[in-house]
Structure 1
Amino acid sequence: MKKIAILQSNYLPWKGVFDMINQVDEFVFLEDAQYTKNDWRNRNKILIQTKPTWITVPVYNYSLEQLIYRTEIVMKYNWQRKHFNTFQINYSRASHYKKYLPLLEDIFLDKSWTNLSELNIYTTKIIAKELGITTKFINSVDLGCDGIKDDKLIKICKKLGATHYLSGPSAKNYIDPIKFQTNNIELEYIEYNYPEYNQGKEGFITHGVTVLDLMFHCGDESPKYIFKS
């Protein structure tokens, strides 16, 4: 049995993405797919004064057909320093912030990012490592599988010899299970169900923020708030 998941890269993903990564043998970043505006590709939420608030990486939007791996970052806004400062201001008092300060410095201060896909893949990998995840990562660009929607997913599954495909629950609205069954690939859906944790003086507020929020507050205990035992 070999289980994989396929998903577009996200900016500083929420914990559900890492739950999915941890449940599969190989995780494929779907980067030769269309870039979608006002989505999770270039933004995510953090808590600012207890309110979930977007932080956004500025990118160039050249066309509707623009692919994720060809999406370039606008450099003139000094966004890296701004995002670092935003984390510093809003999380420096969190119990485990200092533990992950080197990670933030690595992402925002030690490197200069020009490509969104490269930024997202790098940050996802180093956060996964911090969480103890050992799943193998693959970039769809390196696989050369054409097609769209289900057909592309199935081609990737077959190229990698996958027998099981793990999908997000929202895909139930558009995925065709018959196609997977016809190709002898067992289709599974992840269930997002997580315990609450203390997010500061207000207690628990929301699950819908970057996984870094959990890590800053829970430190080495973070995996137990993500992974099923």
Structure 2
Amino acid sequence: MTSIAIMQPYFLPYIGYFQLMAAVDKFVVFDDVNFINRGWVNRNRLLLNGAAHTFTVPLRGASQNKLICDIELVDEQGWRDKLMRTIRQAYVHAPCYAQVVALTEHIVNYPSIRLDEFLLNSLREVSDYLMLEAEIVGTSRIYQNTHLKGQDRILDICRQERADTYVNPIGGVDLYDRAVFLKQGIPLKFLRPGLISYSQGKSEHVPWLSILDVLMFNEPDAIRQLLGERDVL
């Protein structure tokens, strides 16, 4: 019995991404699809001075004509140091700062300049910290099915993994057909995040920031409870 989810890799994504990861047995990182400019692959938001602040991992020659797995990071220490300074400034007084800043330094300073490897490592680091059980499959290129598109490609990955259930974020409810999946013997379900709220110190709660914000203000046990605040329909 294997439930599966398939998502593009994002850098320190919001908690809903990890709710999906926590809801399945196998999590496929879909990195051989086209990069989206100004999307969430290489950027996210943290809480700085009470407001959402966007941070970005700089890329070399990124283009919507390139696959995520074919893009590299800017190979300079400067942006890594600058990002860590911003994170320290933003969260130095957060209750879980000490352990999470160490985790974040390890993620940000991961030595690979390949974007897919850098993102995959970050997802695995956070998953391990939270003790999630889903197996994270390192690359979608192993499936040899780039000739397929959309729903057909998702179904092919599910068949190769012998999945008995496919779980997708609720935003895909108009993209995929339950009847088509069921005809292949794979029930299709959709995950709808609940309204997540937690103390952010003196600030009024700003929702849907990077998982980094959740980590800074909550112990792992509390975060695992937040991950359960969702519906699978």
Q: TM-score, structure 1 length as denominator?
A: 0.93
* Structural mapping, 1:119-130, within 5 Å: 119-130=118-129
Q: Distance in 1 between matches of 2:226 and 2:20?
A: 13
Shift of 1:106: 1.0
Matched position secondary structure for 2:60: coil
Aligned residue in 1 for 2:74: 74
Instruction: Give the secondary-structure state (helix, strand or coil) at the position aligned to 1:78.
Output: helix
Asked if 1 retains the 8 angstrom alpha-carbon contact of 2:50 and 2:204, the reply is no
Q: Where does 1:95-114 land on structure 2 (aligned, <5 Å)?
A: 95-109=95-109, 111-114=110-113
Amino acid of the residue matched to residue 56 of structure 1?
Answer: T
Distance in 2 between residues matched to 1:34 and 1:49, nearest whole Å: 34
Question: Shift of the alpha carbon at 1:225?
Answer: 1.9
Identity over aligned pairs, percent: 24
- Trace 1:157-176 onto structure 2 (pairs within 5 A): 157-176=158-177
Deviation digits for residues 63-94 of structure 1, max 9, x if unmatched? 43311111111234721111111110110110
Instruction: Tell me how far 1:219 sits from its aligned partner.
Output: 1.9
- Superposed CA RMSD: 1.7
From the superposition, tell whether residues 214 and 2 of structure 1 become closer, same or farther in structure 2 (CA, over 3 Å). Answer: same
Q: Which amino acid aligns with 1:34?
A: N
Q: Is the 8 A contact 1:3 1:163 kept in 2?
A: yes
- Alignment check: 8 A CA contact 2:193 2:229 kept: no
| Cα distance between partner residues in 1 of 2:130 and 2:79 | 26
Structure 2: how far apart are the matches of 1:81 and 1:227?
34
Q: Distance in 1 between matches of 2:152 and 2:32?
A: 14
Matched, 1:65 2:65: yes
Cα separation, 1, equivalents of 2:60 and 2:180: 36
- Distance of aligned partners of 1:128 and 1:194 in 2 relative to their CA distance in 1, 3 Å threshold: farther
In structure 1, what is the equivalent of residue 198 of structure 2? 197
- Give 4+ residue runs of structure 1 displaced > 3 Å after superposition: 61-64
With 59-68 and 120-129 compared, the bigger mean Cα shift is at 59-68
Superposed, 1:18-167 pairs within 5 Å as 18-61=18-61, 63-76=63-76, 78-109=78-109, 111-138=110-137, 139-146=139-146, 147-167=148-168
**CA separation of 1:114/1:191 partners in 2, compared to 1, >3 Å: closer, same or farther?**
same
Aligned residues of 2:9 and 2:29 also touching (Cα < 8 A): yes
Q: Which runs of 5+ in 2 are unaligned?
A: none
Structure 1: distance between partners of 2:132 and 2:89: 29
Q: CA separation in 2, counterparts of 1:63 and 1:83? A: 23
Number of aligned residue pairs? 227
CA distance in 1, matches of 2:26, 2:160: 12
After superposition, give the CA deviation of every residue in 1:169-225 in whole Å (9 maximum; x if it has no partner): 11113223332122121100001104310112024222x111111111112322222
Q: Distance in 2 between matches of 1:103 and 1:201?
A: 24
Contact between 1:194 and 1:226, CA under 8 Å: does it hold in 2? no
Query: SS of the counterpart of 1:54?
Result: strand
C-alpha separation in 1, matches of 2:114 and 2:82:
18
Post-superposition offset of 1:53: 1.5
